[in-house]
Amino acid sequence: MKPLLWIEAVVEPHSHSRIEYMIKAKSQFKQRSTANNVEIVIPVPPDADTPSFKTSIGTVKYAPERDAIVWAIKQFHGGKEYLMRAHFGLPSVSNEEDKKDKPPITVKFEIPYFTVSGIQVRYLKIIEKSGYQALPWVRYITQNGDYQLRTS
Amino acid sequence: MRLQVLKDYFRELEEESIRDNFVITYELMDEMMDFGYPQISEAKILREYITQEAHKLEVVKPPMAVTNAVSWRSEGIKHRKNEIFLDVVERLNLLVAANGTLLRSEILGSLKMRSYLSGMPELKLGLNDKLLFEATGRRTGGRGVSKGKAVEMEDIKFHQCVRLARFENDRTISFIPPDGEFELMSYRLNTQVSAIELDHRQARIRQRPRLRAPRLTR
């Protein structure tokens, strides 16, 4: 199975001056499905400053309290690919400790009318001795669980 | 006669109700006789003098459901509209290494129900369960079934209402649902399975043995 949302990150750090990100997000489900409220969280160094972004879709925000960029896409259709570029300044003196842990990229999403396993309800029969007619309604949704992509 | 009055005030008359309502009992007796001569003994008239509400004994009965064979549903539930909602929710856990290899990928599925059905309904749920299809000699791949493949679930966990013996026997999911919201079952899946797309609308399922694959409208 292909991961429903695939993220590729190219990170170009230029020590003591700047760091650049090129993030590619790809939806690997069928075109007729749509992922809603997609949120891609890309961790950045805690001492990064002066953020600037460029994207073809959605909104990008720097969340300094999380040391991350949050790329939010309201509707991500299937079989699509989008790019986002980010640029940060780095201080000329950096803390070596900060570079040690690189948290993974995490993704949030929900895809309605879709089950990733392919499970389907074939019938739901209701029988009561009084013989009333009952309405069964079925809904499907796939969401992210613990969805992580390591960067290095 | 006096007993009738006390019953009127306390509803149940027994040792405990007199003990609970000592003050009212005393006041009633005071009103009902003077110097040994009976006075007012009609409860309705007495209510004009002694307006206090008595403490009424609560008759403690064990809830019906506890003594029933069906301990998760009480009898006599009524809903004006008989409806049941089933949400199939899947969560995808994924861990990908920096070089792009999949380290972990699993699906955690959950069937959540909201039941608003009257009486004691018997429900039967059919899924495209691989083991069931194999047992009944159905094709499990390709276009045999209504659409696509059958799914092999692992670690299936049911709500206590599902008849386990029945499931073990012929993989039928049959149950009397509790009223309101509950998780009917959960399962896990290792994802070597390809995805199947489902209807774009909330699909209403009619009560017939087999479902046609709902067509997509866009």
* DSSP class per residue in B122-168: EEEEEE-BHHHHHHTT---STTSSSSS--B--EEEEE-TTB-HHHHH
Q: What is the CA radius of gyration of chain A?
A: 21
Q: What's the rounded mean pLDDT across residues B51-78?
A: 77
For B8-33, how does the pLDDT look when each residue is reduced to its tens digit (9 = 90+)? 888 888 888 889 888 999 888 888 88
User: Residue A137 belongs to what H/E stretch?
Assistant: strand A135-149
Judge: B85–A127 Cβ closer than 8 Å, yes or no: no
Q: What's the rounded mean pLDDT across residues B108-117?
A: 96
Mean of pLDDT over chain B: 80
Q: How many helices (H) and strands (E) does chain B have?
A: 7, 10
End-to-end CA distance of chain B: 79
b/e sequence B74-91, b meaning 16+ C-beta within 10 Å: eeebeeeebebbbbbbbb
Distance, in angstroms, between A92 CA and closest chain B CA? 28
pLDDT in single tens digits along all 152 residues of chain A? 789 999 999 999 888 899 999 999 999 999 999 999 999 999 999 989 999 999 999 999 999 999 999 999 999 999 999 999 999 999 888 766 666 678 999 999 999 999 999 999 999 999 999 999 999 999 999 999 999 999 87
> Of the candidates B86, B89, B208, which has its C-beta nearest A143's C-beta?
B89
A contacts of B216 (beta carbons < 8 Å): 32
Write the ipTM.
0.89
Judge: A132–B82 Cβ closer than 8 Å, yes or no: yes
For B139-150, how does the pLDDT look when each residue is reduced to its tens digit (9 = 90+)? 655 444 444 578
Pairing of strands B154-158, B180-190: antiparallel
- pLDDT for residue B62: 66
Can you spell out the DSSP letters for B11-53? SS-SHHHHHHTHHHHHHHHHHHEETTEE----HHHHHHH--PP
Listed by number, the residues of chain A in 111-140 with a beta carbon closer than 8 Å to a beta carbon of chain B are 113-130, 132-140
d(CA B48, CA B35): 22
Given phi > 0 = left and psi -120 to 50 = alpha, else beta, which region is B169?
alpha
d(CA A2, CA B140): 21
Q: What is the DSSP letter of B212?
A: P
B138, B211 contact by CB (below 8 A):
no
pLDDT-derived band at B67, boundaries 50, 70, 90: low
d(CA B6, CA B51): 14
- pLDDT for residue B203: 43
Least CA distance to B113: which residue of chain A? A138
Residue B196 has pLDDT above 80, yes or no: no
Judge: A117–B120 Cβ closer than 8 Å, yes or no: no
Token representation of residue B171: 């993989």
